[in-house]
Amino acid sequence: MITLRAYRLGLRRVYQAQRYVYVVYAINLLIALALGIILSQDIQNSLGHSLSAEHLRQGFDDLWYKSFSSNASGIAKSFHPGVTGIGAIFSGLDGMLRGDFSMTQGMFGVAFLYWLLWIYLSAGFIGMFYNGSFDNVFGTHFFAEAGRFFLRFLMLAVFAAAFYALIIYGVLPLLSKWITAMNRNTIDERIVFKHTVIKYGVIWTLIFFVNLVFDYSKVIIIAEDVKKEDILRSPLLALKFIAQSPLKAALLYLLSGLTGFVLLLFYWLIAPGAWQASWFTIIFAFLLGQIYIIGRIAVRCLFYGGETALYYLETALPQGDLRRLPESVNK
Amino acid sequence: MLPKFCKFFWGLLFISVAFSQSSRPQNAPSFPDSIAKLSAGLLPDVRGDSIANYEMEVTLDPAEKRVRGKMRLSWTNATQFPATELQFHLYYNAWRNNKSSYFNSVRYRDFDLSDFGEDDWSYCDIQSMKILSNDYFIAEDVVSNLEFIQPDDGNSFDRTVARVPLRRSVFPGETIELEITWEIKVPRPVSRTGAIGDYFFLAQWFPKIGVFENNGLWNCHQFTQTEFYADFGTYDVRITIPSGWKIGATGREISRNDYPDSTTMHRFFQKTVHDFVWVASPVFSEFTQRFEEPGLPPVDMRLLLQPYNLDKRERYFQSAKTSLKYYGTWCGAYPYGHITIIDPAYQSESGGMEYPTLFTGGSHWLSPAASRQPESVTIHEAGHQFWYGLIANNEFEHAWLDEGFNSYTQYRIFRQHFPRWPLTVRYLENLVPVVFSDVYISGRTDGADIYDGFRTNIKRDPMATPSWQYGPKAYRVDSYVKPSLMLQTLENYLGWPIFQKILSTYFERWQFRHPTPRDFFAIVNEVSGQDMDWFIRDAYRGSNVYDYAVGKVISKPEATLKGFSEPQGELVYQSPDDADADDLPPQIQAEVYIRRWGEAVFPIDIKMTFENGEEVLEHWDGQARWTMFNYRRAAYLQKVEVDPTHKLVLDVNYTNNSWTRHPAKVVASWKWTTKWMIWLQNMVDLFAFFS
């Protein structure tokens, strides 16, 4: 089945491009480390020579935290005990799910730069996936593709942002208002729960659809070398492609998403809580978290890899002739 | 009944001062002090638990959201002053319109009324009021004399207090009986009362007579930002609601009649309580259990549960039993023999509230046991049966006497009976909980640091400020937080055996009565045998903060002698480099400065621990701005702890109470920073989705 074939190809592509996954991860880690040094210093200044540090080392010290948080400023304001274990993931996911990005307070600039970085690197990934050129040690091909298509991808991303904003800041508030009005006299919390889940189901179906369209837009820009002047046409081309094989596109997207979900569940099972007290256990817990982050980045690349493969299989490749897949040329 | 000559005396006195009263300020004393003193000893023999007695017949119209009722109120003047008028609370007028004092109070002025439609407001409308004839009064229609007053803020739009002047005073010991008909419009849920869907919670729903104090004045405040105050009495209430609806109310249900029009009358009766509340809805499921504990009287418990909370039945019952057990053991027995627990409907705003023999809990549908929901609110509200229900403080003026006491007792129960409290975070619009089982959060009495803004809000008003006069953001900290910390500090200072005796003495002496803070503090001094005014002055009457801290700490080898000295009477020059210099191991000199950063004073202990295991416990009266301790030992000072047992939980910053030679701050900070980094990495990477 072509969808499964595309999915497997996507996995293989991610594996072959793993050094670039690590590049993205390294940048992600560096950002966190730079800000982490600031936070660590804030915490150390707050603790001084106090025995609260010992409580914090062995577990958590809520009395200290309440003092710290009431005086916190800058990035320290974002620190809270709910960042432990799976809370580190849920906290961000919950905000994103609800379209609430206030947790980025003080770090919006960093998040924006990372967003730009991904636009740049996604061009590199898709270009590399589409052309099958994984072998360049210095990555000149990867970065060449990234540079070549960055501006076009940036234009596309801004266009996509308008759709996301419309959904999150237009449709979501309207739906919320409608559900609030509908439940004005509801006295059973289960009903509100059901409506809330449906609401976010609708919103995120819309967002996933937009995401799907713009992912294929990127693939098409590279595959067809779409000019800057025609960038805004690429979503229409993507829609046309998806309309030709809606089930395959949806199923592939679902498979890739499921991979990410399984990764999340796995991390939920192993995510360490607050029990670490020594450097060894602290580093161990941190490394577990890093494995999850690398996995997340890889899953993002899997989306690109699978979608690129599906587009190639459906359009560029003569029926059944897999020998002409770019990766069969492996110098 | 008073002897006739006393009535003559009072009558003459009344006439002689009548002209002088006409222009007196509203709250001025009715009689000169000398006359008040003369009348001492003439206090009528009236039971304090039977002053305001109500017999009511009411009917709920769910479609129109109205309750119509008729009552017979029997009120006895239990003071030594004649009452020339009657004053009533009409609480439901607080939500009559947006000009009321409630919606313009510092606590509620930002209440969002934008979606309030015509059906959402409320009123309490007295339609008729007649004095019934008895031994003292002749029948008289007085409704035309009814007028609204605003004794607190003069806001003419506010109609939460009404007065009825009397042609004949109610003299001490006399009883006046009134027949009143009234109608209320039930509001959309606000301030723990109201109707939503087919759930009706009726609190403060009837014209309630105020409290006539033993200074000749009515204590009848407007309803703004506080809770309530009323006299004890008997309630005999017949409530007619649609058949098939479940009903919970103050008291026991003693009879029930079904009518052909598909309504049912439920009759509830309760003696010696100061309020009556009821709730009706067809959705409840009803369960009963019995509380039995050696040494305490049994209590029949009735639970009305929402359909989505059936899994919490046992948790509700166990929590209520825990509360009855510990409050009963520590303070005194619960006397009524029955209690009703209401699991409030979602969005009903009626959760977490106390009424005589009935209280409301509250829980989300998804609520793991570790989240302590409904346990926390159940223990707290069941506890209010004692602090508020039996010890009936004036909540308008001294809200802390129930909220602070109850918070303190509640957290004592948590420490005694429950495991440590883990952090629960609720996601997806508060609907989905996740428990972080190894991150423990503080209880309210663990320390003053725990509430955001405590250190800013604590200085807004002293606790002694009457509750209805608290300024912005002061109510919660001065009614709940600071009082519970104050009581915990008192317990820590005096010791639990003495403090438990204080609680039980206070409970025994003041149940079914209206104590004031002065009454409680008098018992503290009496039972403890100490004058605690120095503490009460700072903690209760003032708004100074407590903050003791470790200041500078020096622990270093003592300098070896260098320079001139007379070791054997002769002046010689000595240097550490001398061949015959003393080669004994150097002594370690330690200097420890302890600071008082706050303005409030409290005696504290300071514990010094040396690296050889030696511990020294010092005691400081805490008066000066700082003190210093110095030592000469063979080992370095390892740690210093100010108030090591954390007696002074009012200290606003416990982090600065300790010092250690080898702080773990680097490893501790990086432990939590690495967790935060994973959060940041994930959060930043989420933006990649939108790229």
Q: Please check the confidence at residue B458 and state whether its pLDDT lies above 80.
A: no
CA distance A43 to chain B (A): 6
CA distance B480 to chain A (A): 18
Residue among A49, A90, A289 whose CB faces B427 most closely:
A90
CATH (domain of B128)? 2.60.40.1730
Is residue B393, in this structure, part of any structural domain at all?
no
Best of A97, A164, A188, A293 to disrupt the B interface (most B CBs within 10 Å) is A188
pLDDT at A121: 92
Same domain, B232 and B112: yes
In the listed set B541, B570, B586, which residue is the last one of a domain according to the structure?
B541
- Band the pLDDT of B48: cuts 50, 70, 90: confident
CA distance A170 to chain B (A): 17
B665/A49 Cβ within 8 A: yes
- Band the pLDDT of A73: cuts 50, 70, 90: confident
Going from the C-alpha of A18 to that of each of A222, A262, A299, B683, the distances in angstroms are: 21, 20, 11, 22
Q: What's the total number of domains in chain A?
A: 1
Question: How many angstroms from the chain centroid is the CA of residue B274?
Answer: 17
**Cis upstream peptide for B374 (omega within 30°):** yes
B439/A81 Cβ within 8 A: yes
Nearest residue to B689 via CA among A146, A304, A21: A304
Mean pLDDT throughout B209-236? 94
Residue among A63, A92, A119 whose CB faces B442 most closely:
A63
Nearest residue to B404 via CA among B416, B417, B391: B391
DSSP state of B546: B
Same domain, B438 and B312: no
Q: Please check the confidence at residue A323 and state whether its pLDDT lies above 90.
A: no
Nearest residue to A235 via CA among A128, A158, A314: A158
In chain B, which residue's Cα lies nearest the Cα of A109? B684
Same domain, B572 and B644: yes
pLDDT at B629: 97
Domain span at A80: 2-328
Q: Please check the confidence at residue A32 and state whether its pLDDT lies above 70.
A: yes
- pLDDT tens-digit series, residues B340-385: 999 999 999 999 999 999 999 999 999 999 999 999 999 999 999 9
pLDDT, greater one: B181 or B3? B181
- Band the pLDDT of B581: cuts 50, 70, 90: low
Two tokens at A70? 């009431």
Strand-pair category, B358-360 with B338-342: parallel
- Band the pLDDT of A321: cuts 50, 70, 90: low
Q: Please check the confidence at residue B89 and state whether its pLDDT lies above 80.
A: yes
Chain A residues inside the 8 Å CB shell of B473? none
Chain A residues inside the 8 Å CB shell of B657? 50
pLDDT, greater one: A1 or B669? B669
**ipTM (interface pTM):** 0.94
B425/A196 Cβ within 8 A: no
B688/A300 Cβ within 8 A: yes
Q: Please check the confidence at residue B20 and state whether its pLDDT lies above 50.
A: no
pLDDT, greater one: B23 or A101? A101
- Band the pLDDT of B569: cuts 50, 70, 90: confident
Is residue B213, in this structure, part of any structural domain at all?
yes
Q: Mapping DSSP to helix (H, G, I), strand (E, B) and coil, where does residue B110 land?
A: coil
Average pLDDT, chain B: 90
pLDDT at B46: 65
Q: Exposed e or buried b for every residue in A143-169, given b needs 16+ CB within 10 A?
A: bbbbeebbebbbbbbeebeebbeebbe
CA distance A110 to chain B (A): 8
Is residue B404, in this structure, part of any structural domain at all?
no
Residue among B345, B428, B685 whose CB faces A296 most closely:
B685
Residue among B455, B670, B690 whose CB faces A164 most closely:
B690
Chain B residues inside the 8 Å CB shell of A69? 452
Chain B residues inside the 8 Å CB shell of A160? 690
Q: What's the total number of domains in chain B?
A: 5
Chain B residues inside the 8 Å CB shell of A68? 655
Strand-pair category, B548-557 with B588-596: antiparallel
Is residue B184, in this structure, part of any structural domain at all?
yes
Q: Is A49 on the interface with B (CB under 8 A)?
A: yes
Same domain, B52 and B35: no
Same domain, B528 and B598: no
Same domain, B294 and B269: no
Q: Is A81 on the interface with B (CB under 8 A)?
A: yes
pLDDT at B451: 57
- pLDDT tens-digit series, residues A158-215: 999 999 999 999 999 999 999 999 999 999 999 999 999 999 999 999 999 999 999 9
Q: Among A74-78, B353-357, B609-613, which is the least confidently predicted range?
A: A74-78
pTM equals 0.89
* Partners of B240 in beta bridges: B59, B265
Q: Please check the confidence at residue A324 and state whether its pLDDT lies above 60.
A: no
Residue among B306, B677, B683 whose CB faces A103 most closely:
B683
Q: Please check the confidence at residue B38 and state whether its pLDDT lies above 60.
A: no
Domain span at B649: 548-668
What is the number of CB-based contacts under 8 A between chain A and chain B? Answer: 292
Is residue B649, in this structure, part of any structural domain at all?
yes
- Band the pLDDT of B442: cuts 50, 70, 90: confident
Q: Is A112 on the interface with B (CB under 8 A)?
A: yes
Mean pLDDT throughout B474-484? 91
Same domain, B52 and B67: yes
B399, B475 in Cβ contact below 8 A? yes
Same domain, B480 and B588: no
Strand-pair category, B604-610 with B353-355: unpaired
pLDDT at B22: 41
CATH (domain of B570)? 2.60.40
pLDDT at B577: 72
- Angle of helix B400-417 versus helix B375-383 axis, rounded to 10: 130
pLDDT at B30: 41
Nearest residue to B207 via CA among B153, B163, B142: B163
Mean pLDDT throughout B171-184? 97
pLDDT at B563: 86
Is residue B334, in this structure, part of any structural domain at all?
no
* Partners of B182 in beta bridges: B69, B126
Q: Is A323 on the interface with B (CB under 8 A)?
A: no
Mean pLDDT throughout B15-37? 43
Nearest residue to A206 via CA among A251, A163, A253, A259: A163
Same domain, B103 and B210: yes
CB atoms within 10 A of CB B399: 27
Q: Mapping DSSP to helix (H, G, I), strand (E, B) and coil, where does residue B271 land?
A: strand
Q: Is A27 on the interface with B (CB under 8 A)?
A: no
Question: How much of chain B, in percent, has pLDDT values that exceed 70?
Answer: 91
CA distance A324 to chain B (A): 30
pLDDT at B33: 41
Same domain, B462 and B440: yes
Q: Please check the confidence at residue B117 and state whether its pLDDT lies above 50.
A: yes
Is residue B397, in this structure, part of any structural domain at all?
no
CA distance A245 to chain B (A): 23
Same domain, B429 and B486: yes
Is residue B333, in this structure, part of any structural domain at all?
no
Same domain, B441 and B583: no
pLDDT at B5: 52
B657/A56 Cβ within 8 A: no
Q: Please check the confidence at residue B171 and state whether its pLDDT lies above 60.
A: yes
pLDDT, greater one: B22 or B529? B529
DSSP state of B586: P
Average pLDDT, chain A: 90
Chain B residues inside the 8 Å CB shell of A63? 442, 446-447, 449-450, 654-655
